[in-house]
Amino acid sequence: MKNSNDIELFATTDFKAKDKVVSALVRHRVSYLERWEKISLLRRREYGGAKELCVIYVNANQYKKAKKILDEFNSAYADERKERRRKKKAEAEARAEEEARLKEQEEEMEDDDIDGFYADDDIDEGIDEF
């Protein structure tokens, strides 16, 4: 139950992020209050279509400690997300290079088939001359 000494630390619709922050708060022995709020149909667009919003409150006496933990989490989480985006981009570039290489090989094979066709015609013409 929320009391007058509780201060909102953060609110999120991301369950994984919420779980990680709560886990960090527990590790550092910061008491918190987790409150779920329904998001009205008209406001869901603001929250990416989410139906619920999780709001985490901490006691005013522990707010500075909790804020420091949250800031550390945010920088680590941002770094993690950047790394995932970098990996996805590298994988996409590798796939694109592989597709380009395969397409190039197909085109070379088609060119070889065309060249081979003309070579067969030359042989047929040479046979007709004998």
Do the Cβ atoms of 57 and 2 come closer than 8 Å?
A: yes
Do the Cβ atoms of 20 and 77 come closer than 8 Å?
A: yes
- Angstrom distance (rounded) from CA 6 to CA 60: 6
Do the Cβ atoms of 56 and 9 come closer than 8 Å?
A: yes
Total number of domains constituting the chain: 1
Mean pLDDT of 9-23: 88
Q: Which domain holds residue 17?
A: 6-84
Q: Which amino acid is at 60?
A: A
Closest CA to 66 of 1, 2, 5, 7: 7
Q: Is residue 44 part of a domain?
A: yes
- Token look-up 């922050």 returns 21
Q: Is the pTM of this model over 0.95?
A: no
Q: Is residue 17 part of a domain?
A: yes
Q: What is the strand order of the sheet 6-12 is part of? A: 6-12, 52-59, 32-38
Say which range, 87-91, 99-103, 116-120, has the weakest mean pLDDT. 116-120
Over residues 51-79, the pLDDT tens digits come to 999 999 999 999 999 999 888 877 777 77
Q: Is residue 110 part of a domain?
A: no
- Angstrom distance (rounded) from CA 73 to CA 76: 5
Do the Cβ atoms of 5 and 41 come closer than 8 Å?
A: no
Six-digit token string for 17:
């992020």
Q: Is residue 114 part of a domain?
A: no
Say which CATH number the domain at 26 has. Answer: 3.30.70
Q: Is residue 1 part of a domain?
A: no
Q: Is residue 16 part of a domain?
A: yes
